[in-house]
Structure 1
Amino acid sequence: MPSTAVDNPLILRLLGLLVEQPKHQYALAIALNERYPYLNAKSGSVYTLVRSLEAAGWVASTGVEQMGNRPARTVYALTDQGWEVFKERVRRQIREAKVTTSAFVDALAYLGALDRDEAPRVLRERQESLVERIAELAQAGDADLPEITMIEVDFVMHQLRAEAEWIRDLIARIDDGELAWPEKGRTGAD
């Protein structure tokens, strides 16, 4: 849990969208969900975070946009301080971001607790989920944006593809009997 709003993981993405062009809060929420559908960012959260960015001096209002009968919307842009903070966060996170241990990895450590016939079924469900996520990310890309603008999506897709391939190989090893399987109910504490 972030200690302050400006420590929220969405901040880097919000600042990044504002690097591309000034936007109002609703447009930021829409852009976040279009570009990163797996985040499921809520409009209320985006509005709160933008207010926090403004209070920190990282973004400032550049005016109000009114289109048709829609409500007037304040447009925000990065300040010079926001640009410097953004670049420093990019540097720091590329250098220092730790590889997180996911719940999948934790459960994988105990795969042998499942029956030898059940494990491949469960792994296939995971693999199907990965294929769906890869397809979603492929759709999230914007062909009009330069590749560097969406490089993180390419990275995530490579990770997902590598995981799906690894799982496919693991299933084959289980199905072929290549992977030794513990005796049912064996705890290792005999």
Structure 2
Amino acid sequence: MPLTAVDNPLTLRLLGLLVEQPMHPYALAAALNERYPYLNAKSGSVYTLVRSLEAAGWVAPTGVEQMGNRPARTVYALTEQGWDVFRDRVRRQIREAKVATSAFVDALAYLGALDRAEAPHVLRGRLESLRERIAELERANDPGLPEIIMIEVGFVLHQLRSEAEWISALIARIDDGELAWPAKGQT
């Protein structure tokens, strides 16, 4: 849980969207969900975060947009401070962000605790989830956009495809008896 709203993991993505063009919070939420559907960003959370970013001086209202009978919506853009913070975060996160770690890696260390016949079944469930996520990201990857705008999607797809390939090979090794299995009570 972030200590402050500006430490929210969505902050970098929101600032990035505002680099592309000024938007009102509802459009930001829609853009987040279109580009990153796995985030399932709630518009209320985005509105709250935009208010926090405004209070921090990172975004500022640039005008009001009204379309038809819809309510008027305040459009926000990055401030100079926001642009500086955005670039600093990009630099820092590229340099320092830890390689993805997960509960999966922790559980994988104890795969041998499962029955040899059960392990491939459990791994196939993981493989199916990976394939669904890959398909979801492939649908979200807009070929009409320049690659640099969605470069992170390409990176995540590469990671997911590599993991799926590795898990498929692991399942085959277990099924073929190639992978030695520990005796019960040993892992």
TM-score, structure 1 as length reference: 0.96
How far the C-alpha of 1:2 sits from its partner, in A, is: 1.2
Deviation string 1:141-183 (CA, Å, 9 cap, x unpaired) is 1222111000001000000000000000101110111110012
Separation in 2, partners of 1:112, 1:132: 26
Separation in 1, partners of 2:98, 2:109: 20
1:114 corresponding residue in structure 2: 114
Pairing 1:174-189 to 2, within 5 Å after superposition: 174-184=174-184, 186-187=185-186
1:9 corresponding residue in structure 2: 9
CA RMSD, 1 decimal: 1.0
Q: What letter is aligned with 1:60?
A: A
* CA contact 2:116–2:174 (8 Å) conserved in 1: yes
Pairing 1:90-105 to 2, within 5 Å after superposition: 90-105=90-105
2:35 corresponding residue in structure 1: 35
Deviation string 1:72-127 (CA, Å, 9 cap, x unpaired) is 00000011111111000000000000124201111111111111111101111111
Q: What letter is aligned with 1:79?
A: T
Separation in 1, partners of 2:99, 2:45: 26
Separation in 2, partners of 1:16, 1:101: 24
1:172 corresponding residue in structure 2: 172
* CA contact 2:112–2:186 (8 Å) conserved in 1: no
For structure 2, the residue ranges without an aligned partner over 5 or more in a row are: none
Q: What letter is aligned with 2:186?
A: T
Separation in 2, partners of 1:187, 1:122: 19
1:147 corresponding residue in structure 2: 147
Q: What letter is aligned with 1:121?
A: H
Partner SS for 2:75: strand
1:138 matches 2:115: no
Aligned residue pairs total 187
TM-score, structure 2 as length reference: 0.97
1:52 corresponding residue in structure 2: 52
Q: What letter is aligned with 1:187?
A: Q
Partner SS for 1:150: helix
How far the C-alpha of 1:136 sits from its partner, in A, is: 0.2
Separation in 1, partners of 2:110, 2:156: 25
2:79 corresponding residue in structure 1: 79
How far the C-alpha of 1:187 sits from its partner, in A, is: 3.3
For structure 1, the residue ranges without an aligned partner over 5 or more in a row are: none
* CA contact 2:112–2:182 (8 Å) conserved in 1: yes
User: Runs of at least 4 residues of structure 1 off by over 3 A?
Assistant: none
